[in-house]
Structure 1
């Protein structure tokens, strides 16, 4: 019997959210199902769009690269069978370019501002065979954008965004 088999769906879902901030690849292997799907992957880099622990870990690295001191404060957890809803606050400091993607490639790049943010999120996770197999999220993206100075953008920041997007496209 694996260690995650004795863990409740709620505990497993909370662990999956928390390891986004500081978990190792092995942590993702322990809690994420090999067939897991992240329904938020469409705006993430291509390496995040793969299924299973590899995709979830790539998402964590994408977030950690852009946001230092990444943390999740869990406020409420509600479970109904194998579906778990988590209300949380994600916080961090914007220290590196943060790129948002479409299926065609890089869409927008936000150069680092050095500013901190704290935004509420709700995560919905489905558990199967003792591991997370599906994830959806609702985030306060506008609140994050305002806190980090992305909106309303200054002319100088718009120029920095265009330059960062050009660099990201060349790197891809």
Structure 2
């Protein structure tokens, strides 16, 4: 399966993951040794267990956000790489305030599974919309 197909499928499955907590079908597209380049203070997370934990936080509602959705606006793909420009929306659990920001994520695929993932989201705009700077 080409990278663009894997990327599209994982994005399509994400609402089901969030709504039902059923992770297995989506996790079938994640390599056991995946590297999730999260950046910032989190740094890289390695392995499917870290990916599962990331999704479980969203599903459990114990994360900082709920009502999260992602809409892909543009995709560019080669055989092993796929990049999405996406619109992300959600609600900050503590304040009830909503956000809507763009982001970019890219994956590398080998043998039909994601082996690397990078993501950048406009957190400055998100914090401004959520008024997390104390305003």
Does TM, normalized by the shorter one, top 0.5?
A: yes
Unmatched 5+ stretches in structure 1: 1-6, 96-111, 155-172
Larger radius of gyration: 1
Structure having the higher strand fraction is 2
| 8 Å CA contact retained: 2:68, 2:88 | yes
**Is 2:132 aligned against 1:136?**
no
Residue 43 to residue 13, structure 1, CA distance change in 2 (3 Å)? farther
Structure 1 residue 68: Cα displacement = 1.6
Question: RMSD in angstroms over aligned alpha carbons?
Answer: 2.2
- The answer for unaligned runs of 5 or more in structure 2 is none
2:7 pairs, out of 13, 25, 48, with: 13
On the 8 A contact 1:124/1:136 being kept in 2, the answer is yes
SS at match of 1:76: strand
SS at match of 1:49: strand
Match of 2:81 in 1: 83
Higher relative contact order (CA 8 A, sep 6+): 2
Q: Is structure 2 residue 48 aligned with structure 1 residue 49? A: no
Q: CA deviation at 1:18?
A: 4.5
Q: TM-score, normalised by structure 2?
A: 0.82
Whether the 8 Å contact between 1:42 and 1:49 is mirrored in structure 2 is no
Q: How many residues align?
A: 128
Contact 2:87–2:101 (8 Å) recurs in 1: yes
| 1:130–1:73 Cα change, 3 Å | same
- Scaled by the length of structure 1, what TM-score is found? 0.66
